[in-house]
Structure 1
Amino acid sequence: MPTLRLPPLPNIREVLKMYHLRAMKQLSQNFILNENLTDKIIKRAGVLSDCHVIEVGPGPGGLTRSIIKREPEKLIVIEKDKRFEPSLEMLADAFAAVNGKMEIIFGDVMTFHMENILPSTETKTCTDKSPKIKIIGNLPFNVSTPLIIKWLRAISEKTGPWKFGRTRMTLTFQKEVAERIIAEPLDAQRCRLSVMAQAWTRPILHFIIPGTAFLPKPDVDVGLVTFVPLTVPRTKHEFPIFEKVTRHIFSFRQKYSIRGIETLFPAEYRTELGQMMYKLADLDPQKRPMTLTVEDIDSLVSAYKYLLEKYPNLKFYEYRTSRHIVSLSQTKNIEVVQCIN
């Protein structure tokens, strides 16, 4: 595919020297210097022409150059560190010289409302093709997991960039995190993140980038993952309760899955209600967490919601706090054991 020819620019290593830029360890910054590699990464994001592209954490602009060469309709970069302003402005000027549009926003992506910078004309329904909006980022390791959980919730609720439809993301993660995201049932890497990602998206691990490709070199390799939102999610439940049950299941990942489920309930009702959940879900309580499918967990969430309706005070119970609830038998004037029989 032909790419846009930009005016002559210093390479990223030269840019770092020009502006005296160094990666900040406290921000988990690692720069990609090889332009052939950044081109390969951006190629995996798909066609960018006519798209509104949001790049998260561009740093000195390594990936940004490769995005620009793909001629997006508009490129918006969101950067937390203002030290990169000169290098990003240089790229914006170069893109403008060939009639491109690039906007630089300095802010924290964890709190930034991306829907405010996207045109409503790009809106598609969840059954349509993906909108012409792409999110791309070489994410700092210290925010990658909380950020993807935040975005998965937005996908489930059709908010943020996902109010426009099934917006795709192509992001970097530590190799171990990338492998967990795509881990299927029976895989030893399967965890809460695997289930959450696969409930609302189809995650694709494209390739592994060696740590030597970054400056400074991280202690781990990096995986490139694309998230394709599903037309029909694999769960019918709301994100918070689905995440809560999944989190409890994997809190004792080496034990039977019922061990984690039991922590949803006060100690005096734990055994009875845990068994009841598995009866309602028609699942074996001795299944290990990593063997459960998204659909299995969806069934357990349905069972948990049934118990919340029957015993409303259960929703106030938190396993890791000292908070107590009143007797369930007082709430419904019935013993739990009677419900199971």
Structure 2
Amino acid sequence: MATSFSRLPPLPPLRDFIHMYRLRAKKVLSQNYLMDMNLTRKIVRSAGVQPGDWVCEVGPGPGGITRAILEASCDRLDVVEIDKRFIPPLEHLAEAAEDRLHIHHGDVLKTNIGEFWSKEVGNRCREWNDNPPPMHIIGNLPFNIASPLIIKLLKDMSYRSNVWRFGRVPLTLTFQMEVAKRICSPIDDDARSRLSIMAQYLTEPKLLFTIPGTCFVPPPEVNVGVVRFLPRAQPLINVPFEVVEKLCRQVFHYRQKYIIKGLKTLYPKEIADEMAHQLLKACRVNPKASSVQLGVEEFADLASGYEKQCQEMPGLFPYDYIKPKRTVEILAKTANALPPTNPFLVEKMPGEGIRLTEA
């Protein structure tokens, strides 16, 4: 069903709004304003916002996408903005929005969006395996927080916390094109990275369209990709998020090398070769494969095998090869000696991809 746009009371054009409140973009905050209302409406349409939905917008800035969301006749819109300069123009919009717009001044990296809605959510909640609830997260993200924010949100999603306690709430976010391509990158693609695995095992990410950098003020030197994330009913990896992230971070740090190189950094030097080869053999993954050649299924096997090793050797999971003096023996005595647990894990998916050939 196509999103219909309704008229707000008369408002100054967005450019006049920015001039009126003297809202010069701050380079230190990676701020770039999207001025074209046709594009802001396209983002909202692509997100699938329908009349009556609830939306949280991350980093609204001067309110271009905010206007488009309100025009889509949402029942409630919460915005999270760290820059206090934008609060007065957002309050101007709130007056025109008839109590639909709720403004939160703060850092979205430290914000639990679900708390905005928890007291009034009512029958909007859905079971995890049902269709997504009538809720959305949307944002034109500053480049400097895009990667850490999506990792934070994916972690919350994996534990069904934050807004995901209400069901499979989708996200529609902007990224510089390089990051958007990494998120959606397939096997054997040069852009494949840690973000590819983390996003693809928990969601079905889709690059919807590209916005030329020239459409922003000030114009960034790169184009921008709009990506929609639909949470999977059954995540593809049956291991806690922190284990998957650590494995992917180490393996993709050496993305141009054989996978064995990155795996060895998971272990103390004196046992690294033995443990890494043991893991690869148990998972039937070729040690001469590179990280970009492996699918989510192979990473599921590796993460499961690594988690088992960590459970059998307390202190291995928090071990950091950059800080070798904090040995496994020392870490085994700490509160975080073992990997975390996740009550929402699903059945392991069958694997396919590069395997050791059997004699």
Against the structure 1 CA distance between its residues 5 and 316, is the aligned structure 2 distance closer, same or farther, given a 3 Å change threshold? closer
1:1-341 aligned at under 5 Å gives the runs: 1=2, 2-96=4-98, 101-118=100-117, 119-121=120-122, 122-325=124-327
Greater mean alpha carbon deviation, residues 162-171 or residues 113-122: 113-122
Contact map agreement 2:140 2:174 (CA 8 A) in 1: yes
Whole-angstrom distance in 2 between the partners of 1:199 and 1:184: 12
Q: Structure 1 regions of 5+ residues with no counterpart?
A: 328-341
CA deviation after TM superposition for structure 1 residue 108, in Å: 1.0
Structure 1 residue matching 2:285: 3-state secondary structure: coil
Cα deviation, 1:155-175, whole Å, max 9, x if unaligned, reads 000000111110011000000
Cα deviation, 1:162-214, whole Å, max 9, x if unaligned, reads 11110011000000000000001111100000000001000010111111000
**What letter corresponds to residue 136 of structure 2 in structure 1?**
K
Contact map agreement 1:316 1:325 (CA 8 A) in 2: no
Contact map agreement 1:123 1:131 (CA 8 A) in 2: yes
Against the structure 1 CA distance between its residues 313 and 90, is the aligned structure 2 distance closer, same or farther, given a 3 Å change threshold? closer
Whose helix fraction is larger, Structure 1's or Structure 2's? 1
Contact map agreement 1:277 1:303 (CA 8 A) in 2: yes
Q: Normalised by the size of structure 2, how large is the TM-score?
A: 0.88
Whole-angstrom distance in 1 between the partners of 2:60 and 2:311: 47
Contact map agreement 2:49 2:136 (CA 8 A) in 1: no
Cα deviation, 1:250-304, whole Å, max 9, x if unaligned, reads 1100011111011111111111111100111111111110011111011111211
Whole-angstrom distance in 2 between the partners of 1:114 and 1:313: 33
**What letter corresponds to residue 315 of structure 1 in structure 2?**
F
Aligned length: 325
Greater mean alpha carbon deviation, residues 280-289 or residues 228-237: 280-289
CA deviation after TM superposition for structure 1 residue 314, in Å: 2.3
Structure 2 residue matching 1:131: 3-state secondary structure: coil
Cα deviation, 1:193-250, whole Å, max 9, x if unaligned, reads 0000001000010111111000011111100001000000001100001111111111
Greater mean alpha carbon deviation, residues 194-203 or residues 74-83: 74-83
Whole-angstrom distance in 2 between the partners of 1:296 and 1:49: 42
Q: Structure 2 regions of 5+ residues with no counterpart?
A: 330-359
Against the structure 1 CA distance between its residues 13 and 317, is the aligned structure 2 distance closer, same or farther, given a 3 Å change threshold? same
CA deviation after TM superposition for structure 1 residue 47, in Å: 3.0
**What letter corresponds to residue 140 of structure 2 in structure 1?**
N
Contact map agreement 2:265 2:321 (CA 8 A) in 1: yes
Structure 2 residue matching 1:196: 3-state secondary structure: helix
Q: Which structure would you say has the larger Rg?
A: 1
Greater mean alpha carbon deviation, residues 32-41 or residues 134-143: 32-41
Whole-angstrom distance in 2 between the partners of 1:163 and 1:46: 20
Whole-angstrom distance in 2 between the partners of 1:172 and 1:145: 11
Paired-residue identity, %: 43
CA deviation after TM superposition for structure 1 residue 326, in Å: 6.0
Whole-angstrom distance in 1 between the partners of 2:6 and 2:282: 58
